[in-house]
A and B are shown apart, each in its own frame.
Chain A
Amino acid sequence: GAGVSQSPSNKVTEKGKDVELRCDPISGHTALYWYRQSLGQGLEFLIYFQGNSAPDKSGLPSDRFSAERTGGSVSTLTIQRTQQEDSAVYLCASSLIAGGRGEQFFGPGTRLTVL
């Protein structure tokens, strides 16, 4: 079946612009996660959704970052007033069940470059 999909695959933007990243999880997966991976760094957790709710947003690095999920499916991650340090690969994952035992499957990511 179809895996996690993300769009766009690449995004180049100018500092100060807003960007919106999209994630379409595996059908039937109730949990959705956003991570980012900077060059040479490990994956950094950003936010988690169970259904349309985000129980904990503490992983978001600043108030310029926000995310929503609608219909228990597609999620968008929005970064306002982008900064150069926002450049990274933004990865979305989904799992059938929430919590630690849910195996997470990743999408191909969106590579964001802020000039």
Chain B
Amino acid sequence: RKEVEQDPGPFNVPEGATVAFNCTYSNSASQSFFWYRQDCRKEPKLLMSVYSSGNEDGRFTAQLNRASQYISLLIRDSKLSDSATYLCAVNPSGAGSYQLTFGKGTKLSVIP
């Protein structure tokens, strides 16, 4: 099983739709989780950290399910500008480690 896995998509959704992505991770000791957004030929930009209690930022909601070892990202009322690749990132070993392990990303296309 790969360390961090994502459905590559693409997810093609109409404007205004709600879309959700999942990301599974293999290391149960993982402590920190993040969602990044990456536009074509650009660097990843931090979208949000994922906390144990879940967190919400406007139209974006992130959840963590430790029992099933996945994190999710929900986007409500999709905008054309949400079209991008969404990367999940996991700190695989918890405290004392430093690198992030990234999934390969899920591509989202929001269609007019």
Residues in chain A within 8 A of chain B (CB atoms): 31, 33, 35, 40-43, 45, 48, 50, 55-56, 59, 91, 98-101, 103-109
Contact = CB atoms under 8 A, between A and B. Distances in A.
A104 B102 contact: no
B37 to A, nearest CB: 11
B45 interface: yes
A48 B99 CA distance: 7
Contacts of B95: 99-100
A95 B43 CA distance: 15
Interface residues on B, range: 20 to 34
Contacts of A48: 98-99
30 contacts: A31-B98, A33-B99, A35-B102, A41-B104, A42-B4, A43-B44, A43-B87, A43-B102, A45-B99, A45-B101, A48-B98, A55-B98, A91-B43, A99-B97, A99-B98, A100-B97, A101-B31, A101-B32, A101-B91, A103-B34, A103-B46, A103-B49, A104-B34, A104-B46, A104-B100, A105-B46, A106-B45, A107-B43, A108-B42, A109-B43
A78 B34 CA distance: 29
